[in-house]
């Protein structure tokens, strides 16, 4: 199938343009004619790179659909569908006002599929690299229940909430990371450029230098000739670590280690639990069956330890068990979340309980990250001050001894 850009006129004489999938130029013209479009110009879209070859051009990165584009499209589509505008017309309106070329191309392909009689969910399913299983299954449940506009609103709220949480966590960690990077650069500059010039005056001294000074000179000389070796070793370790982390066993061990780390481990676990509760609650409230919902959550939670726990829980739930029982038995999920799930199952308010738990954990994550960053900043400044002070002290000690001898 190829993608064709076209422009022309409708049966009412209005100008129109868009994209259409077809196996040939002739088929594209026939499709447009069956839709009541008189084509004036039509041309094939530039072909994608050959399968198996990597596209290293800038277009590969610029042409990606952003998370923000999908969220905006979902919000706008929910408004249009809620206003009783037919789905094809709503997608056409989205196509005209979408600015992102990649998003515009995707909307055009989805619209053409829907116009050919394919369900909206199946049309989205042709673009799984853009629309995840969670999105597709929620749309399918919305189509089946006749509440597509409501489901799209929930999807938009869910995506905006997830993006907001990631943005807050990322913004809170930018300053400490920047401070750490600047500190390392300053320290390396002092050790490789400033210190060698200052300590060169000690070469002609006929006395034993203090231990801190000798350590400083040794570190400076080592960094002076071995900096390239350090970079190679660090790069090799990074590559090996990434390869190990991509293996099933390595990924499981890595996530288990992250969950057990002091301070960071608690925040990482809270983020995973919040994502689990928010996703499962959103799916269930949209009418997605419990087993399908848990399978989707398993792929979304991004924590291999929790994924394994959910995989076991799905089997037990299929055998008639409650959701809370296997989660509690695993010991991975906090007691408060399993208690809220058990309460929700008994009272028939599981969706509400999950969304409340997600809200509580997301607020807890924001508070924890803010507290962590408020501690990290002064700690890093103190550590940097101690390191620079140690360098200055190591340089001053021989000078103080020389002044004592002169007296």
CATH code for the domain defined by 159-407: 1.20.81.30
Domain ranges in the chain?
A: 1-47, 159-407
Q: Say what the pLDDT of residue 191 is.
A: 80
The full length of the chain comes to 407
Q: What is the pLDDT of residue 405?
A: 56
pLDDT per residue as tens digits for the range 185-209: 888 887 877 777 777 776 666 667 7
Q: Is the dihedral of CA 153, 156, 159, 163 positive or negative?
A: negative
CA pair distance 92, 86, nearest whole angstrom? 10
Residue 264 CA, distance from chain mean position = 18
Q: Could you tell me if 295 and 314 are in contact, meaning their C-beta atoms sit under 8 angstroms apart?
A: yes
- The whole-number pLDDT of residue 369 equals 83
pLDDT of residue 402: 66
Please, where are the H alpha helices in 19-147?
25-34, 58-62, 67-82, 87-97, 101-115, 120-125, 133-145
Global model pTM greater than 0.75? no
- Residue 45 DSSP label: P
Cα–Cα distance between 64 and 40 in angstroms, integer?
A: 29
Q: Which segments of the chain have a pLDDT < 70?
A: 1-3, 21, 23, 45-63, 202-207, 402-407
Token pair of 21 as six digits: 């999938």
């Amino acid at each position: 199938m190829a993608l064709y850009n076209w422009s022309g006129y409708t049966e009412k004489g209005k100008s129109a343009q868009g994209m259409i999938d077809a196996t040939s130029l002739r088929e594209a013209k026939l499709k447009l004619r069956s839709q009541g479009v008189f084509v004036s110009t039509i041309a094939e879209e530039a072909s994608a790179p050959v399968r198996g070859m990597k596209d290293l051009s800038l277009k590969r990165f610029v042409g990606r659909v952003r998370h923000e584009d999908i969220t905006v499209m979902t919000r706008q589509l929910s408004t249009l569908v809620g206003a009783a505008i037919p789905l094809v017309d709503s997608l056409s309106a989205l196509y005209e006002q979408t600015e992102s070329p990649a998003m515009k191309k995707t909307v055009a392909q989805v619209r053409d599929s829907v116009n050919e009689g394919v369900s909206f969910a199946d049309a989205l399913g042709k673009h799984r690299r853009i629309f995840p299983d969670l999105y597709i299954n929620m749309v399918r449940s919305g189509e089946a229940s006749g509440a597509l506009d409501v489901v799209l609103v929930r999807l938009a709220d869910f995506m905006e909430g997830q993006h907001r949480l990631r943005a807050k966590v990322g913004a809170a960690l930018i300053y400490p990371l920047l401070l750490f990077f600047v500190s390392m650069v300053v320290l390396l500059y002092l050790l490789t450029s400033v210190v060698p010039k200052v300590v060169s005056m000690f070469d002609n001294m006929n006395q034993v230098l203090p231990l801190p000074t000798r350590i400083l000179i040794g570190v400076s000389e080592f960094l002076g000739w071995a900096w390239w070796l350090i970079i190679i070793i660090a790069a090799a370790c990074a590559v090996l670590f990434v390869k190990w982390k991509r293996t099933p066993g390595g990924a499981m061990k890595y996530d288990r280690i992250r969950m057990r780390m002091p301070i960071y481990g608690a925040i990482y676990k809270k983020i995973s639990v919040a994502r689990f509760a928010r996703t499962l609650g959103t799916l269930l409230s949209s009418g997605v069956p419990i087993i399908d919902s848990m399978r989707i959550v398993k792929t979304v939670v991004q924590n291999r330890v929790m994924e394994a726990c959910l995989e076991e829980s799905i089997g037990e739930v299929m055998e008639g068990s409650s959701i809370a029982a296997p989660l509690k038995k695993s010991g991975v999920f906090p007691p408060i979340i399993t208690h809220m799930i058990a309460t929700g199952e008994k009272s028939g308010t599981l969706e509400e309980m999950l969304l409340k738990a997600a809200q509580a954990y997301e607020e807890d994550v924001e508070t924890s990250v803010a507290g962590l960053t408020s501690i990290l900043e002064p700690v890093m400044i103190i550590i940097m001050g101690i390191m620079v002070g140690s360098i200055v002290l190591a340089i001053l000690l021989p000078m103080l001894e020389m002044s004592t001898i002169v007296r």
